[in-house]
Amino acid sequence: MKRLALAVAVAAALIIYTALHGLHLARVAAPIDVGPLIELVKSNPELYAAVIRYLNETGLNITTRLPPRASPTEITVELNASEVVAGGAVAVRGVLTSRGKPVERQVVAIYLDNYLATAVTTDSRGEYRAVVRASVYKPNVVVKAVYIPPPGAPYKPSNASATLHVLYNETRLSLKAPTSVTWGENIVVEVSQTPPVARRIVVALSNDTGVVYRTIANGTVAVIPTRGIAPGRYRLTASAPGAGPYAPASASTEVFVNAFKPEIVLKPPQLAIAGAPLDLRVETRPELKYQAYIGGQSVNGSLPLTVPTGYAKLAVRTAPSPPYAPAEATAQIFVVNPLQLAPLAAAPLAAAFARRALRKAPPVLEEVKAALPKKIMSLVEEETVAVLATAFQKLGNRAGLHYNRKMTFREYAKQVESHAADPKCLWYVVGLAERALFSPYNPSAAEINTAWLCVERL
């Protein structure tokens, strides 16, 4: 039965809207016989009242035609008082007649300030009674009684209105808050009311995206933390609902959440190898955590092998850390991706490094060769020895301790590791030399290139 009532209310709403709003029916492609539906609505005033409420909630724009011989109706409205305190109740009564005779079992809608307050049914004498609450804060409110005949009824609509004077007290809110705070600090808001009223006061912080924080004032003070929001300009608003004879009130002001900008000093290499450690020196003031990105990809020690050969944007970003806002520093570096270089194209570059290195480190080179079991070496092995000797010569000059053939490569590397600007590069060169000179492993041209660039970082 409840489902039927709801369906009927929805369907009837499409028909009787005209009686409420007095609009004209638009023509439809095919007429629909709604006679049984109309009779059902007419026979049940409670259902008809539900339809009226539904119409007001949905605002459907639908009309129907009145019967050709509809009789005029007259409706009266009386209030039991000419004034009422805001939030108080007022009794409404009146009579619905047609040509001096009462019209019974008809629905009358009672509006308060253009909003539907209730719907009641006339009795056998055409009288209706209702009690509505004046929950508005306006000096004068119109109370309107509207008769809406059901579709097909032999009556015309009518309405009557009366003015109700509402008594209430104006109230005022005042805000006291800082115009700016440092990001991470609390915004302490003091709220005062005139006159003081026992009610909840909602304090909200908002920006262009909407409300970002809302709280209830504890007494007359609200505390808003700023650590969880972004720096910027915000609107601070306090609002209080109406409470009986006391009208609602609101107040607002602006507050700026200010963040400090850290400084990033970036010292990148001019050349980097994909897959190899990145010789990156970063200094932040103050000291903050940072992350490096190259070509939009995160760098964690070594460059991703997916970075192509060519110029790439290197970016270092600090994370937001109140009171410091996020910051970024960028630089352009040239990346060589060994996977994209043919061996013939990489070999001349490696040979150029080898020739330069052989001129720089002849004493250490002889010691390294003397420590090897093989005296006749391939071109790749010769170049590997040159890389290792250059690294040892560079660190030996810095440490004041030079390599001799009685030491293993690892023993010497441990002694000079503390003098290497990039220890990872040192161990990359040593590891590559051990595999190339003491096992069947044959390094690629790309690995030799990476080793030479690592020597430059030492």
* Tens of pLDDT, residues 313-324: 999 999 999 999
How many other CB atoms sit within 10 Å of the CB of residue 1? 5
User: What pairing do the DSSP bridges indicate for beta strands 83-85 and 158-167?
Assistant: parallel
Q: Which residues contact 367 (CB under 8 A, 6 or more apart)?
A: 389, 402, 403, 404, 405
Please provide the average confidence, as pLDDT, over all residues in the chain.
Answer: 83
| Model pLDDT, residue 441 | 86
| Model pLDDT, residue 66 | 55
* Tens of pLDDT, residues 91-140: 999 999 999 999 999 999 999 998 999 999 999 999 999 999 998 999 99
The answer to whether residue 353 scores a pLDDT higher than 80 is: no
Distance CA 401, CA 392 (A): 10
* Tens of pLDDT, residues 412-434: 999 999 999 889 999 999 999 99
Nearest Cα to 158, choosing from 70, 56, 265, 234?
70
Do residues 231 and 322 make contact, with C-beta atoms less than 8 angstroms apart? no
Q: Which stretch of DSSP H or E encloses residue 145?
A: strand 140-147
